[in-house]
């Protein structure tokens, strides 16, 4: 099962486990809520999807790598307590609360979320002394005498024996109490994620041509060689920051992330050519609408790898601009929501505002600056609470920060210009919003122009060949390009996309007939 399907299965199970009846009891009793056990190779994203699921389901997440724990930290420390049995007092050994269980209660207090996921990684690599406790945990959902709180779903993960010498086999009794999910590496699924996360174009275009290098494991006399999705993503982050610093990763740096010498060498060579082609094919000129006939002929007769590298460069630039356009749209929607709220406050009557409160003063006595400050503070509070509960992705955090920064700038303008009257305050903020909207329109136009210039280049260099098919296919794989094209008219995209869809249907029909 690929990681995308695995994520869907876990979300479905969580939804089912947390479903309550009309009396507030869980439809599936806690005893029947089987822990989910993910088994698959390292680096495919098992841990990462837990973070995504907790954000999307708006529930808490407590994650542990169980190999870092001893029996004492998992079960608790023993202490002597006094008990009365049959009129006599006895000294009885009890245990303090497990560190893991305590962390769940702490998370509930910090975030206010009463339901969540307890994720334990490398669960089948526990020490011999901790193994019985892990079996009890999977079977009874408790560490020692302390149960996991109701509403917390257990997900565990481990690697099969071929990837880890420390793996301990679970017996049938234990396996019969878990929901087992076998996870596999799948490049096409990962590519969707890579586009959405904005991974470096060189990484994606390289793996498009060498899919077999996406995930590789090899045992040699010198040890284990491997390339994993986690390695490619971390390397992508480094390349992006290196570019901002004016640095270039060499073969040694690549090998620190892609620990498969042959693949690391191949990618390092590809990266050099990728950078070289940006200059050779005058990428900046292409996206100004200037096409050189000599360069068009050159790329048309270039090797397959060179053509795909240039295609990757074109895609990378187009995708980057489309992502900016989509994020600008989300930013403008958030900003507009604040503007509409401000309009409502500045135009409401005294009777409508009775009983409502702002942090600084009563609403009916507040001027425009104070009302606008209240909107900023309210949004900032929502942002802090959601961030504290770890319900925001990195992009969502940036979006909140961007909106808050703009609101703060608007508020400063009102203060500097001494505007306090409600209606005048709204008019001025509306003017400032109009300037942001103009910048948004420029971004949309720039993205649309980039797509048109890309089509100009591809048609001039390759016509309607396989490169055009690959270009359209990649646009359809990218979350941001699909979202941008849904609201933006591009005749050539729809034309080529329709032809591609028709050819695909015809190919499948011929396959059936044969």
Q: What CA–CA distance (Å, rounded) separates 39 from 11?
A: 17
Q: What is the mean pLDDT of residues 480-497?
A: 88
Q: How many Cβ atoms from other residues are within 10 Å of residue 279's Cβ? A: 9
Give the per-residue pLDDT at 141. 85
Rounded to the nearest 5°, which phi and psi values hold at 465? Answer: -70, -165
Q: What CA–CA distance (Å, rounded) separates 20 from 12?
A: 14
Determine which of 323-337, 354-368, 469-483 has the lowest per-residue pLDDT on average.
354-368
Q: What is the mean pLDDT of residues 52-56?
A: 93
Q: What CA–CA distance (Å, rounded) separates 370 from 58?
A: 32
H or E stretch covering 321: helix 304-347
User: What proportion of the chain, given as a percentage, has pLDDT over 70?
Assistant: 93
Give the per-residue pLDDT at 92. 82
Q: In this model, does residue 124 exceed pLDDT 90?
A: no
Asked if 212 contacts 27 with a C-beta cutoff of 8 angstroms, the reply is no
Using CA atoms, how far residue 130 sits from 144, 172, 221, 471, 481, in Å, is 11, 18, 33, 52, 49
Write the pLDDT tens digit of every residue in 247-298.
999 999 999 999 999 999 999 999 999 989 988 888 889 999 898 899 999 9
Write the pLDDT tens digit of every residue in 55-86.
999 999 999 887 777 677 777 777 788 888 88
Confidence category of residue 46, pLDDT binned at 50, 70, 90: confident
Beta bridge partners of 180: 37
3-state helix, strand, coil in the chain (%, to 5): 65, 10, 25
Q: What is the mean pLDDT of residues 328-347?
A: 93
Confidence category of residue 317, pLDDT binned at 50, 70, 90: very high
Name the residue among 27, 11, 113, 1 with its Cα closest to residue 62: 113
Structure tokens at 227: 């390339």
H or E stretch covering 155: strand 152-158
Asked if 116 contacts 59 with a C-beta cutoff of 8 angstroms, the reply is yes
Give the per-residue pLDDT at 98. 81
Using CA atoms, how far residue 152 sits from 76, 105, 149, 216, in Å, is 20, 11, 6, 35
pTM score of the predicted model: 0.82
Q: What CA–CA distance (Å, rounded) separates 49 from 38?
A: 11
Write the pLDDT tens digit of every residue in 294-305.
999 999 889 888
Give the per-residue pLDDT at 348. 73
Q: What is the mean pLDDT of residues 179-185?
A: 92
Asked if 339 contacts 430 with a C-beta cutoff of 8 angstroms, the reply is yes
Using CA atoms, how far residue 509 sits from 304, 341, 472, 514, in Å, is 29, 54, 21, 9
Give the per-residue pLDDT at 74. 72
Q: Between vectors from CA 405 to CA 399 and to CA 406, what angle results, nearest 5°?
A: 95
Write the pLDDT tens digit of every residue in 369-397.
999 999 999 999 999 988 888 889 899 99
Give the per-residue pLDDT at 110. 87
Asked if 414 contacts 372 with a C-beta cutoff of 8 angstroms, the reply is yes
């Amino acid at each position: 099962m690929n990681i995308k399907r695995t994520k869907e299965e876990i979300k479905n199970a969580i939804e089912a486990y947390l479903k309550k009846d009309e009396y507030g009891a869980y439809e599936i009793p806690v005893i029947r809520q089987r822990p989910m056990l993910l088994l698959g190779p390292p680096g495919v994203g098992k841990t990462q999807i837990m973070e995504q699921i907790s954000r999307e389901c708006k529930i808490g997440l407590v994650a542990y790598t169980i190999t870092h724990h001893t029996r004492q930290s998992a079960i608790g420390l023993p202490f002597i307590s006094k008990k009365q049995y049959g009129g006599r007092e006895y000294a009885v050994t009890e245990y303090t609360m497990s560190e893991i269980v305590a962390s769940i209660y702490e998370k509930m207090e910090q975030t206010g979320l009463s339901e969540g996921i307890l994720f334990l990684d490398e669960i089948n690599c526990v020490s011999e002394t901790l193994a019985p406790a892990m079996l009890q945990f999977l079977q009874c959902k408790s560490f020692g005498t302390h149960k996991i709180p109701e509403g917390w779903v257990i997900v565990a993960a481990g690697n099969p024996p071929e990837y880890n010498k420390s793996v301990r086999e679970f017996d049938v009794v234990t396996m019969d109490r878990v929901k087992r999910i076998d996870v596999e590496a799948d490049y096409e699924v990962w590519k969707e994620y890579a586009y959405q996360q904005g991974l470096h174009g060189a990484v994606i275009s390289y793996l498009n041509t060498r899919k077999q290098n996406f995930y590789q494991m090899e045992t040699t006399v010198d040890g284990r060689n491997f390339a994993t999705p986690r390695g490619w993503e971390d390397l992508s982050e480094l390349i992006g920051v290196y570019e901002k610093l004016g640095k270039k990763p060499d073969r040694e740096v690549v090998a620190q992330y892609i620990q498969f010498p042959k693949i690391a060498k191949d990618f390092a060579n590809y990266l050099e050519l990728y950078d070289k082609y940006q200059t050779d094919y005058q990428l900046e000129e292409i996206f100004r609408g200037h096409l050189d006939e000599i360069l068009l002929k050159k790329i048309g007769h270039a090797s397959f790898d060179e053509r795909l590298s240039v295609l990757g460069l074109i895609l990378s630039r187009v995708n980057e601009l489309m992502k900016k356009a989509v994020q600008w749209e989300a930013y403008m929607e958030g900003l507009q929501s604040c503007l509409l709220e401000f309009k409502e406050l500045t135009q409401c009557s005294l009777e409508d505002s009775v009983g409502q409160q702002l942090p600084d003063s009563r609403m009916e006595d507040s001027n425009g600056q104070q009302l606008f400050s209240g909107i900023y503070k309210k949004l900032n509070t929502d942002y802090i609470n959601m961030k504290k509960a770890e319900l925001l992705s990195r992009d969502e955090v940036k979006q909140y920060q961007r909106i808050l920064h703009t609101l703060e700038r608007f508020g400063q303008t009102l203060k500097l210009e001494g505007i306090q009257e409600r209606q005048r305050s709204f008019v001025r903020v509306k003017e400032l919003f109009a300037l942001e909207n103009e910048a948004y329109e420029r971004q949309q136009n720039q993205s649309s122009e980039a797509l048109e210039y890309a089509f100009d280049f591809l048609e001039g260099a390759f016509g309607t060949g396989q490169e055009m098919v690959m270009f359209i296919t990649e646009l359809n794989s990218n979350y941001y390009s699909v979202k941008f094209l849904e609201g933006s008219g591009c005749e050539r995209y729809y034309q080529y996309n329709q032809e591609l869809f028709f050819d695909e249907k015809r190919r499948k029909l011929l396959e059936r007939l044969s």
